[in-house]
Structure 1
Amino acid sequence: MESILGIDIGGTTIKGGRIVGNRIVEQFTIDTHAEEGGVKTINVLKKAIRQLKAADTNTIGIGVPSVVDKKRGIVYNAQNIKGWEEIHLKSLLEEEFKVPVYVDNDANCFAYGEKIFGKGNKFKNFVGITLGTGVGGGIIQNHHLLSDSNCGSGEFGEIPYLDSILEDYCGSRFFTREASQTAYEIALSAKNGNKKAIDLFNEYGKHIAILVKIIILILDPEAIIFGGSISKSYNLFKKSMFENLNDFPYPKSVEKIKIMNSDLSNIGILGAGALCIENNSDNLNLKK
């Protein structure tokens, strides 16, 4: 029975898991040491993989909050990790562990993780959107991640919007700017009936509707699947989002598209592991 490793590198923690079939059979969480970054973070990553890797592990997938040269596995300008302006992660890890390593943007990992392990498995074409500190996107076309030049497709959060960019209205900064509280804190207040908190999520839904309109106009997918911390409050902005889609010029597109939130836990690990399946399926023998 063979296994794969999925490693989700964040600005605060590195989360990893060993996956057999569709299950995480062992996992860890460790400090990224992002403030030191550079070789320190690489050594932490290697140590963690060394502890997790088993004799039957034949592939490693890595998700990073960054632009990636996917073919060569080079990470450029990783967000929130000092000194990761250009890290040749694939070659470093393959030399150390003697198995294939695949590296991709964390939003792409989310989308493909949904395709392999979650709600995306029934769609040929869909977009996965992470709503958290940032707003990232992964595009699934014809059952596979969209092949792009610089790992930059799906970065809808960077689109100019109002006085800034979409990320400032669809990510966590919207809540801290408007109410000096986190999205999580405001969600708790809204669930307890606080009118100001409910109104704020209704306003947030209006901005998410703009994001949805852009995605439909550019890609016209079968579905949009939300992930990330704010997506856990989907029911608080869902009604407002759909109300603000009523003026879309092609109402049949809105009627047909499926919009939902992910219910996968550990999607960062599963999404990184899914890269192994996407890139190395012919050589894997994963048993469920």
Structure 2
Amino acid sequence: MNNSQYIVGVDVGGSTINLGVIRNGEIVKKISVPTPAQESKDVVVDAIIAGIEQVSMGFDILGIGIGVPGLVDEKRGIVYQVTNIPSWDEVHLVDSISEHFGLEVCLTNDANCYVLGEKFHGKGKPYDSVVGITLGTGLGVGLVINGSLHAGLMSCAGELAVLPYLAHNYEHYCSGQFFQKEHGEEGKVLFAQAAAGDERALRIMAELGTHIGQLVKLTLHILSPEAIFFGGSIKDCSPYFEASMREVLKTFPYQRVLDLLVIDYSGEADMALLGASAIFEMRNQEIVESGLLESRP
């Protein structure tokens, strides 16, 4: 890829669409626009297009990478069942974006974008097998196995959030939903209280840590990666939940695995954007190597 060319990364969320222009793993321009989540599917697509036009103005754009919540048919570029955008039951997103801009567009799940960002542009660089866990309004899990993204059928690999756990599922107990649904409080309020030394808030944070510890144990049993990285807003609570999470991990039966395992927290707020550009770079390179497309100058 010529260094004069740039990739647009798009991270679509239920409330905000984050967009960035990326070159060589660095975000050179970034904007955010509201997601018209309650509008028709075309209105949401138009908001993405308008955001791409705005952020890319003045740049020589090579292609576009997009991360979205929900199920994704990567080969056909179709998004299904986006919980926070009700009208997005079936959206042919790649066709709409590529036809408008005349550029190649690549698409994957937003959790996949996060783990790709961490693997190729963050702390995950030294490791071949990495799990990225986003702790935010919801719970997302992305998988890199032997240096390659493992998205699975419909980008559904790693959907640990919906697995039954206690009275509900892992997302209920390991995301921002835990604070409201179990304790009737906003996470940011409890975080501030914990930082001030409030005993009740500290107990709730420790309780969160026990649940996250069980999630990590599940991840180890299924995948046993070299490293697990946490992203999302709830990771900022880690000073108050890490001790209880580590305590739960002591019950994992294979101490040698724990001795080698790396658990860390993302140092970059925009890893999903960097990962969106990485998904384009990866898919574009795969096409080049297949011989279906000549390498770009």
With normalisation by structure 2, the TM-score equals: 0.92
Q: 2:66 aligns with which of 44, 62, 69?
A: 62
User: 1:44 aligns to what?
Assistant: 47
User: 1:152 aligns to what?
Assistant: 156
**1:147, distance to aligned residue in structure 2 (A):** 4.5
Aligned length, in residue pairs: 285
Structure 1: how far apart are the matches of 2:128 and 2:161? 24
**1:37, distance to aligned residue in structure 2 (A):** 3.3
User: 1:173 aligns to what?
Assistant: 177
Q: Does 1:10 align with 2:13?
A: yes
Which residue identity is paired with 1:246?
K
Structure 1: how far apart are the matches of 2:78 and 2:53? 21
User: 2:90 aligns to what?
Assistant: 86
**4+ runs deviating over 6 angstroms:** none
Structure 1: which 5+ residue stretches go unaligned?
Answer: none
Structure 1: how far apart are the matches of 2:276 and 2:236? 21
Q: Within 5 Å, which residues of 2 pair with 1:100-139? A: 100-139=104-143
Deviations 1:196-217 (A, max 9, x none): 1111111111111110111000
Q: 2:284 aligns with which of 268, 280, 285?
A: 280
Structure 2: how far apart are the matches of 1:173 and 1:43? 30
Q: Percent identity?
A: 39
Structure 1: how far apart are the matches of 2:230 and 2:132? 6
User: 2:244 aligns to what?
Assistant: 240
Q: Does 1:211 align with 2:218?
A: no
Indicate if the aligned counterparts of 2:78 and 2:92 stay in contact, CA closer than 8 A: yes
Q: 1:32 aligns with which of 32, 35, 49?
A: 35
**1:2, distance to aligned residue in structure 2 (A):** 0.8
**1:74, distance to aligned residue in structure 2 (A):** 0.3
Q: 1:126 to 1:10 in 2, by over 3 A?
A: same
RMSD (Å) for aligned C-alpha atoms:
1.4
Structure 1: how far apart are the matches of 2:31 and 2:73? 27
Deviations 1:63-88 (A, max 9, x none): 10111001111000112113111001
Which residue identity is paired with 2:113?
C
User: 2:167 aligns to what?
Assistant: 163
Structure 2: which 5+ residue stretches go unaligned?
Answer: 289-294
Q: 1:47 to 1:171 in 2, by over 3 A?
A: same
**1:136, distance to aligned residue in structure 2 (A):** 0.8
Structure 2: how far apart are the matches of 1:167 and 1:10? 17
Structure 2: how far apart are the matches of 1:202 and 1:196? 10
Q: 1:250 aligns with which of 254, 273, 282?
A: 254
**1:184, distance to aligned residue in structure 2 (A):** 1.9
**1:269, distance to aligned residue in structure 2 (A):** 1.7
Deviations 1:131-180 (A, max 9, x none): 11111100001111014112111111111011111111111111112332
With normalisation by structure 1, the TM-score equals: 0.95
| 3-state SS, counterpart of residue 153 of structure 2 | coil
Deviations 1:238-283 (A, max 9, x none): 1111111111111211221111110102223222112112212354
Structure 2: how far apart are the matches of 1:174 and 1:228? 14
Indicate if the aligned counterparts of 1:37 and 1:81 stay in contact, CA closer than 8 A: no
User: 2:292 aligns to what?
Assistant: none
